[in-house]
């Protein structure tokens, strides 16, 4: 661990007992370094992440069914896309299975809310990434009464059961909830409106959603309280500082992959014999 980490990210960011409304979104839990130190370390750690991910992929190609699923949740501008680009972007894309979840299509609407999620699950050896996820079905759905409470209320237990099955089948789930302050969000939305290359990220409804901030905080709180389990805990990432959130998520993924205790797959052939054959081929 770098001397700048006083507490490992996984421990510093555990959601247990955390109050969303009290969170300092500009804090850097467990990390004492500044932005320059954080960026320098990120460059080093993504190399480590990439090497681990290659091993995961290699094992998948050799029949290992295990995989890792990163679940990203957060309000607009929280930095989910930045994690995909700057953290996941550092690994071999062959081994990445990325899915983003927006407003359900008419076809998705006709199915159970987990239908589209199950279809997008990573296969053996893959690093799956969900940019938004099944948790939208207890977040935006709850905030906007898209279905009655009697329908979303049982979903917390159902999601826990769903994730229990996933873990039993060999998925390591890394759940990340990213939080920015209302002010920081305004700054980032303003930037999206001031730079033509960012227009594509802006949706006029993002401004309307700001009026529902307290309701979203309550929905996020319920999500953390009810779906942070031992087997699939939530990590809460203060995300006003992009360099910190990227570094923190990198560390969480490194931890998850390290815990799989991966080794290079053994040769399924006699290496000496193949070397000999090659020389005369």
Under the binding rule (CB under 5 A), the answer on residue 184 touching Mg ion is no
Segment contacting ligand AMP (CB under 6 A): 2-10, 47-55, 130-138, 191-199?
130-138
- Residues near Mg ion (CB under 5 A), total: 1
Q: Which does 136 bind (CB under 5 to 8 A by kind): ligand AMP, Mg ion, none?
A: ligand AMP
In which residue are the tokens 């500082």 written? 241
Segment contacting ligand AMP (CB under 6 A): 10-18, 83-91, 136-144, 164-172?
136-144
Q: Which does 251 bind (CB under 5 to 8 A by kind): Mg ion, ligand AMP, none?
A: none
CB of 57 to ligand AMP, least distance (A): 27
- Could you tell me the CA-to-CA distances from 225 to 16, 49, 69, 142, 219 in Å, in that order? 8, 29, 21, 15, 10
Q: Choose which of 14, 66, 98, 132 interacts with ligand AMP (CB under 6 A).
A: 132
Segment contacting Mg ion (CB under 5 A): 54-62, 76-84, 225-233, 264-272?
76-84
Under the binding rule (CB under 5 A), the answer on residue 76 touching Mg ion is yes
Q: Name which of 41 and 138 has its Cβ closer to ligand AMP.
A: 138
Strand partners, 217: none
**Burial class (CB within 10 angstroms; exposed 0-12, middle 13-18, buried 19+) of 18:** middle
Distance CA 259, CA 41 (A): 21
Distance CA 139, CA 217 (A): 9
Buried b (16+ CB within 10 A) or exposed e, 249-276: bbbbbbbbbeebebeeeeeeeeeeeeee
Residues near ligand AMP (CB under 6 A) are 76, 101-104, 132, 136-137, 140-141, 146
């Amino acid at each position: 661990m770098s001397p700048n980490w006083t507490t490992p990210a996984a421990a510093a960011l555990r959601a247990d007992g955390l109050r969303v409304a009290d969170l300092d979104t500009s804090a850097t839990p467990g990390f004492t370094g500044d932005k320059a130190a954080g960026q320098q370390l990120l460059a080093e750690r993504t190399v480590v992440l990439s090497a681990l991910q290659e091993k995961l992929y290699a094992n998948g190609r050799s029949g290992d069914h295990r995989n890792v699923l990163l679940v990203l949740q957060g309000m607009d501008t929280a930095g989910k896309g930045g994690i995909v680009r700057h953290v996941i972007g550092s690994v071999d894309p062959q081994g990445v299975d990325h899915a983003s979840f927006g407003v359900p299509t008419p076809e998705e609407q006709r199915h159970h809310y987990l239908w589209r999620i199950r279809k997008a699950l990573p296969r053996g050896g893959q690093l799956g990434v969900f940019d938004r996820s099944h948790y939208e079905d207890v977040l935006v759905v709850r905030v906007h009464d898209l279905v009655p409470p009697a329908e979303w209320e049982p979903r917390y237990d159902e999601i826990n059961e769903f994730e229990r099955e996933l873990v039993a089948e060999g998925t390591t789930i890394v759940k990340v909830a990213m939080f920015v302050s209302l002010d920081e969000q305004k700054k980032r939305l303003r930037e999206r409106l001031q730079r033509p290359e960012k227009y594509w990220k802006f949706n006029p409804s993002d401004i309307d959603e700001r009026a529902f901030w307290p309701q979203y905080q309550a929905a996020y709180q319920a999500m953390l309280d009810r779906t942070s389990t031992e087997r699939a805990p939530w990590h809460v990432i203060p995300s006003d500082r992009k360099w910190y959130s990227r570094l923190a998520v990198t560390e969480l993924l490194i931890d998850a992959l390290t815990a799989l205790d991966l080794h290079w797959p053994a040769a399924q052939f006699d290496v000496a014999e193949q070397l000999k054959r090659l020389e005369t081929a």
